Structure 1
Amino acid sequence: MSAKRSSQDQLRLPLTRDVPTSASAFVRSGSNAFAFDALSAWPNDTGRVMALCGPAGCGKSHLAALWAERVGAVPLNGSEAALADPLELEGRPVLLDIAQDADDETLFHLINLAQQDGGALLMVSRPSPRRWQVAVPDLRSRLDAVRVLAMEAPDDAVLSAILAARFAERSITPADGVIDYLVLRIDRSAAAAADVVERLDAEHRPVTRALARQVLGASADLFEEPPEGLQP
């Protein structure tokens, strides 16, 4: 992003994108409560720049979308942020997803813009900004000072909600106990939940624990409880 870029060369990005329809269904739990509560009260006197970080599938982008919808933030994405017109970002909150992919100049300008009245910057990435590779010393010091809101992999409550939502999207009503069964046996990520629901749907049969066990195959056997009276 450069303020010196001519108006003829400046590419203008749309300043509004649809917030995912699932944003209102975000589940607050132990794995995300700290970040959820901080963003619910922000921007405030705690600073104008924050970073939302955590592993893949933990719900970072979902929570960030909820924040963006509330404050009317301009959504930008990774390296595409360099194409945004700085004049259109002045005095406005900005959401930068995949923030570690933005170039040094863009990050530096966005952090500066966030200090203006009405400005704020939420950067979303897997690693903390302290681990990003940057070449500009002033940018390094600014990133090291950013307040980081860490999220963890989905816990049981979040993973159950994700599975229920994926089943509902496909108009599937799983049998009692299926979701609890899956929560204990799949990777703790939104992607894993979506994948197993897709595989179950592809069977075109009622979704029961027996079907879930069949679809999961050997991975399910690792978690099977031993017969009654036997020790694991």
Structure 2
Amino acid sequence: MAQQLAFDLPPRRSLGRGDFFVAPSNALALAQIDGWRDWPQRKLVLVGPEGSGKTHLAHVWAAETGAEIVPAAELPLADVPALAAAGAVAVENADCIAGYDAAEAALFHLHNLVLAEGGRLLITAANPPARWSLRLPDLASRMQGTSTAMLDPPGDDLLAAVLVKLFADRQIAVPPALIPFLTARMDRSLAGARDLVARLDAASLASGKPVSRALAASLLAAG
């Protein structure tokens, strides 16, 4: 039998408030995002590992505040005064710019402009500001003086909800028993859940078989 062609189509991402599953690992961070009107100095750093929900929460906040969202690495090419004029800005992956002088300078400029104009600033990162190794002292001091919200490692309930959402984003129907089977055996992270669903989707397309426990067991056994 000829192997079925696999088309690597991008999944439909759902980043609305109703798509965010609240669990003990993220409830406090969500509450801090919801309390944006009371942020000390009108700014917050949202910290969590890859795939933990930082981007989702940034979009939830942007939908409520009308904020612009920009990756920190793109700030040197951005119109910083125009961003600041939006009144609210979310800067993603800020710890990735350490040592990139132009990006550090642009973030420092944006930080000062947003706050000077009475706006709000949300910054996401994988690590707390004290671990960013920034070379610009004034930026380092301002980031380390910013309140921090932490996304904790996910429990089974959150992993299960994320798996269901990721399969739905790819329009894949799976048997309900597959979800607890996966949560008991997968890498215990949201990034791991995303990778596992992508691999199952690819294996299903390549083999012409639906996503099932047997397919998942074979994939997990292969490593």
Q: TM-score range by the shorter chain?
A: 0.7 to 0.9
Greater relative CO (CA pairs within 8 A, separation 6+) = 2
Where does residue 123 of structure 1 map in the other structure?
Answer: 123
Cα distance, 1:137 vs. partner?
2.8
Q: What pairs up with 1:1-232 in 2 under 5 angstroms? A: 21-24=14-17, 25-88=19-82, 89-90=84-85, 92-102=87-97, 103-201=103-201, 202-203=203-204, 204-217=208-221
Tell me which structure has the larger Cα radius of gyration.
1
Larger proportion of helix: 2
Unaligned runs of 5+ in 1: 1-19, 220-232
Cα distance, 1:77 vs. partner?
1.0
1:121 to 1:207, Cα distance in 2 relative to 1, 3 A: same
CA contact (8 A) 2:42 2:121 kept: yes
CA contact (8 A) 1:98 1:123 kept: yes
Q: Distance in 2 between matches of 1:167 and 1:86?
A: 37
CA RMSD of aligned residues (A): 2.1
TM-score calculated relative to the size of structure 2: 0.80
Q: Which runs of 4+ in 1 moved over 4 A?
A: none
Q: Distance in 2 between matches of 1:53 and 1:155?
A: 17
Unaligned runs of 5+ in 2: 1-12, 98-102
Cα deviation 1:29-86 (Å, max 9, x = unaligned): 1111111011012032533111011111211111111111211111111221122223
- Percent identical: 38
Number of matched pairs: 200
TM-score calculated relative to the size of structure 1: 0.77
What letter corresponds to residue 21 of structure 2 in structure 1? V
